[in-house]
Structure formats: C-alpha cells, structure tokens
Amino acid sequence: MARITTAAQRRRKEIATAYMLLAPALLVMLVFTVYPVLRSVFLSMTKYRMGMEAPEWIWFSNFQRLAGNSTFWKVMRNTVAFALMTVIPSMVLGLGLAMLVNREGRHIGFIRTAYFYPSVMPMIAIASIWMFIYMAGNGLFDQMLIKLGGQSMNVLSDKDKVLPAMAVMYVWREAGYLMVFFLSGLQSINGDVLEAASIDGATGWKTFRHITLPLLAPTTLFVSTVAFTNCFKLADHVIIMTEGAPNNASTLLLYYIYQQGFTNMNYGVSSALTVIMLAMLLVVSLPRFFSEDRKIHYA
C-alpha cells in the first residue's frame, strides 16, 4: 500500500516538474499565439472600431461586407497573383541554384554566399535599394531598358507592372533561401542510387526526372509550405515602396490588415481579414501535418 502511494506521489511530482519547466515558454505562447488566434476569431464576428466602448456581436456581417467589397477582392487577387508569381519561380530557381552548387570546390562557398546573402538582409533594406533600382528614368532598371532601345517604364507607378516588379525583387531574395533546403535534400540522396542509374545507362535528364525529383519530393513539399508562408506574411516592402499605390494595385493581404487596423482603426474588419489569413496559412501548412515525422530529417 505504502509503495503504491509513493509511485503515485512520484508520478504527481513528475507532472508538476514538467509543467514547471514548461511554464515560462508556455505562458508566452498562450498569451501571444493561442489567445490572439481566438481573439481574432471572436472579434471577426463583431463590430468594433476606434472609440467604441466594447465590441458588438454581428455574426458574419464583416465577412459578408468584405465579400461585396471590390477593394477586398482586389487585395485577394493581388495576394494570390503575387504568390503564384513568386512561389513557383523561386522554388524552380532555388532547385536550379542548389544543383549548380551541389559540388565541392574552392569557389563553391563563395558562389553559395552570393545566392544566399539577400536572406540575411531585412526586407525593408531590400525594398529601399530596389526602390531606386526601379526609379523612373534614372533608376538602374529604366537605364538598362533605355540602353537596350526601349523606353522608361516607371514600373512602380504602373498598375499592371508593380506586382511583377516586386515579384522579381522577392524571387531574387527568396531563391537563395529555398536553395539551402534543396541543397540539403540533394546531399541526402544516396550517391549509389545515382551511380547505379548511370551504369544502367540513364542520362542526365532521365536521372533527374525519374530519380532525383521523386527522392526530393518530401523536401519539395516542405519547401512549398515555407515559400507560401513567407510570401503571405509580406508587408514591409509595400510600406516602403508604394503604400499600396497605384490605387491598391500593390496592396497585399497583410498590408491591408495593417491598414484596416492601424490607419482606419477598424478592429472588427481587420480581425476578419486576420481570420482569412489564418485559414490560408492553415491550408498551405497541411503538408506538414501529414509528414511531421520527416521533420527529423531536416533537424
């Protein structure tokens, strides 16, 4: 009897110790990750603006109003278009760069550094530089066009060219970042498999298509989640370069959330937009839930 009590006591002590160790980190995560998600869901169903005493419950009216708002649809179109213009090109380029630098050699370290360095620069520093690169007339980009016989484009003020221009900048930044994941994936492929294929007479393209690419599938799935998530959370460069101009042609979802919350002080609508963003993040993260054990492969 006494022994059973000690075992139960020991178990209780173990649980208490575990929670004591977890407490500091868990408290911060509850307050700044779990609570804000719940709060956004709650506020998204309320009318709540600057100056109101308390939020007023209105069910799904915020979402209904957004559904009938042309600016909202423009922002969603921009966000999806920007994702399509950046995610796939930066992944393809990232894989290409990884294959170029998947070698040993004295210069390889230097070349990898050249591809990766934009990832250690803040987005606002990149935006400040590229704003001048894209400057009308005198900017490096327009000068290059003029030299090639074209004419000045002033891309950042053109409603059809502003997103592609920002996409080029972002692909330049992101490709090197995604490269390192592909590089680690390539290096984990067993060399014997490739050798066996080459003995069997498989040529470069065939080896790539039927061996390398399938073996890289888990990496590719993981990288696509990272690429979409990184792309959705972009707002810094919009604040610096255009503030959504011309006429919201460059407004992305997170920038719209920021604007609705901090410029228009409309917390109900900005919370509804936050909920939409959370849903998008959940969708692009789904591959992670189904392949979570593979994380060990990256760690």
Partner 1 sequence: MKEFNIRKVLSLLVTVCSICLGVIWLIPLVWLVGTALTETSFHMTLLPTTPFTFENIKYVWNAIPFAQYYINTLTLVVVTFAIQFFTSTLAGYAMAFYNFPGQALIFVIIFMQIIIPNDVLIIPNFMTLSEMGLIDSKLGVMFPFLGSAMAIFLLRQHFKTVPRAFGEAARIDGANLWQTIWRVYMPCAKPAYMSFAVISVSYHWNNYLWPLIVTKSPTNRTLTVGLAIFAKSKEADMQWANVCAATLIIIAPLLLAFFVMQKQFMNSFVSAGVKE
Restricted to residues 51-110, the positions that interact with partner 1 (CB under 8 A) are 97, 100-101, 103, 105, 107, 109-110
DSSP annotation of 212 reads I
In 3-state terms, what secondary structure has residue 47? strand
Q: How far is the CB of 4 from partner 1 (least distance, A)?
A: 19
Site string for partner 1, 154-183 (x = CB under 8 A): ------------------x---xx--xx-x
Handedness of CA 163, 164, 169, 170 (dihedral sign): positive
Cα Rg of the chain (Å, integer): 25
Neighbouring CB atoms inside 10 A of 192's CB total: 8
**Among residues 2 and 136, whose Cβ is nearest to partner 1?**
136
Out of 58, 111, 186, 211, the only residue in the binding site for partner 1 (CB under 8 A) is 111
Interaction of residue 146 with partner 1, rule CB under 8 A: no
At closest approach, how far in Å is the CB of 250 from partner 1?
Answer: 15
Peptide bond into 246 cis (omega under 30): yes
Binder of partner 1 out of 76, 81, 133, 215 (CB under 8 A): 133
Should residue 233 be labelled a site residue for partner 1 when binding is judged by CB under 8 A?
A: yes
List 72, 115, 134, 256, residue binding partner 1 (CB under 8 A): 115
Alpha-carbon distances, residue 119 vs 169, 170, 228 (angstroms) = 12, 10, 16
Q: Is residue 248 a contact point for partner 1 (CB under 8 A)?
A: no
The candidate with the shortest Cα–Cα distance to 249, out of 81, 92, 123, 119, is 81
Residue 139 binds to partner 1 (criterion: CB under 8 A): yes
In the list 8, 27, 193, 217, the residue contacting partner 1 (rule: CB under 8 A) is 27
Considering the complex, state which of residue 60 and residue 132 has its C-beta at the smaller distance from partner 1. Answer: 132
Give SS3 for 155: helix
- x/- mask, partner 1, residues 200-229, rule CB under 8 A, reads ----------------------x---x--x
Give the footprint of partner 1 on residues 270-289 (CB under 8 A): 270-271, 274, 277-278, 281-282, 285, 288-289
Alpha-carbon span 223 to 200, nearest angstrom: 31
Quick one: 63 exposed, middle or buried, by C-beta within 10 A (0-12, 13-18, 19+)? middle
- Tokens 């921009």 map to which residue? 78
